Amino acid sequence: MKRTLLCTVIVLFGLLNINAQEIQFGGKAGVSFASLKVKNQTFSITNSETGFYVGGFAEIGVFDGLTFRPELLYIAVEDLNQISIPLMVKYEVSDVFNILAGPSFGYLLDVNDGFKSFNYGIEIGAAYDIYINRSVDGLFVEARYNFGLANLIEDAPSGITRKLSSLFVGLGYRFK
């Protein structure tokens, strides 16, 4: 465990030093469509709620066309509010179209007894840069899906799971 953590820290600092001059910051907000799925061997129940998200991000250039993008988001969806930290990799397919993928870690707020507050998953998505004119060239629209992997039931009996997944659609602005 210590070796893995040390290697991760060394790689991250190495990436930061490669193109440290290519760091940009931005903000984003949009709509969140959350699905809470409870499943066992005989049935499956899904509850869906709509809310919003807001937060910020940094884009750190790694190579030409490849960017590391850590984010900090507040997601408000009825009883499923959480602080989320996606660690995305952005790949530029073209000048205006990007794909994103990476792990996401979250902390659920106001969790009832018997449920876990730590959430994690994998996110994939796409972004499209909107160029209105030269003075507004950091605007983008984005859609992502978070595949929830964590079983949110504390000491869950065998075969019973409760997982949270979300679709995010929103706008962002990258400061130049």
Tens-place pLDDT, residues 88-130: 999 999 989 999 999 999 999 988 888 899 999 999 999 999 9
Q: Is residue 2 part of a domain?
A: no
User: Domain with 160 in it: what CATH number?
Assistant: 2.40.160.20
H or E segment at 38?
strand 23-39
Mean pLDDT of 32-42: 91
Comparing CA positions, the residue from 26, 68, 70, 31 lying closest to residue 166 is 31
Question: What pLDDT score was predicted for residue 119?
Answer: 95
Residues spanned by the domain of 147: 22-175
Tens of pLDDT, residue by residue over 146-171, are 999 998 888 877 788 999 999 999 99
Half-sphere exposure of 81 (CA within 13 A, CB side): 8
Q: Is residue 171 part of a domain?
A: yes
Q: Is residue 37 part of a domain?
A: yes
Q: Is residue 122 part of a domain?
A: yes
Q: Is residue 92 part of a domain?
A: yes
Question: What pLDDT score was predicted for residue 15?
Answer: 53
Q: Is residue 39 part of a domain?
A: yes
Q: Is residue 15 part of a domain?
A: no
Q: Is residue 6 part of a domain?
A: no
- Specify the number of domains making up the chain: 1
